[in-house]
Amino acid sequence: MSADFKQNHFDLFGLPRRFRLDAAALDHAWRTIAAEVHPDRHAQGGEADKRVALMMTTRVNEAYRTLKSPVSRARYLLSLAGVDTQEETNTSMPVDFLMEQIEWREAIEDASASRDTAGLEKLGAELHQETVALQNELAAALDDNNDLDRAAVLVRKCRFMEKLGQEIDDAVEDALS
């Protein structure tokens, strides 16, 4: 770790720079660093110590969050390679994918309207499976084939799936209350 913050997240935690990640190793490294730099450890230090502690902890927490989620990890790896996933600007997706999205949406709306919590949970489980499949493809694209363009498309697909997941969560919460 370096205080000038130029290090990338993987180097920060001493992890290999790739998509496939040992989650336990990440957790362990994060907690080890946090234990050293957390502001609570430096509450009696001078202002300089406290400021540095706050900056470092913030940095470490942000790095952890980025690497922990598969989608943000992939996005980050692409950004390190200079590839922008264009999630905000590029809305063109394969037609069959968009058709599936419409079907998903309809299924969620139907289940939501009839407050079918069990149905929504089932949709959530199916979505989870599809997301895992996408993540496996991401691993292949990034780690095995170095196919960055394909990886960018996959990240955009994952983003769509994340939004569906959010809708299911919100619908379940509404149905429960």
- Residues in touch with another protein (CB under 8 A): 1-4, 14, 28-29, 31-41, 43-49, 51-54, 56-58, 61-62, 64-65, 169, 173, 176-177
Closer CB to another protein, 7 or 101, in the complex:
7
Q: Least separation, in Å, of the C-beta of 93 and another protein? A: 22
Closer residue to another protein, CB minimum distance, 20 or 41: 41
To the nearest whole angstrom, how small is the minimum distance from the Cβ of residue 80 to another protein? Answer: 18
Judged by beta carbon, residue 3 or residue 81, the one nearer another protein is 3
Minimal distance in Å, beta carbon 12 to another protein?
Answer: 9
Q: Indicate if the alpha-carbon torsion angle 26, 1, 52, 59 is positive or negative.
A: negative
- Cβ proximity to another protein: between 153 and 168 the closer is 168
Tallying the residues shown for the chain, one arrives at 177
Neighbours of 85 (CB within 10 A): 21
Provide the b/e sequence for 17-38 (b: ≥16 CB within 10 Å). Answer: eebebeeeebeebbeebbeebb
Q: Do the Cβ atoms of 120 and 51 come closer than 8 Å? A: no
CB of 57 or CB of 77, closer to another protein: 57
In the complex, minimum distance from the CB of residue 56 to another protein, in angstroms, rounded to a whole number: 6
The closest of 23, 146, 55, 59 to 15, measured between CA atoms, is 23
Closest distance of CB 35 from another protein, Å: 5
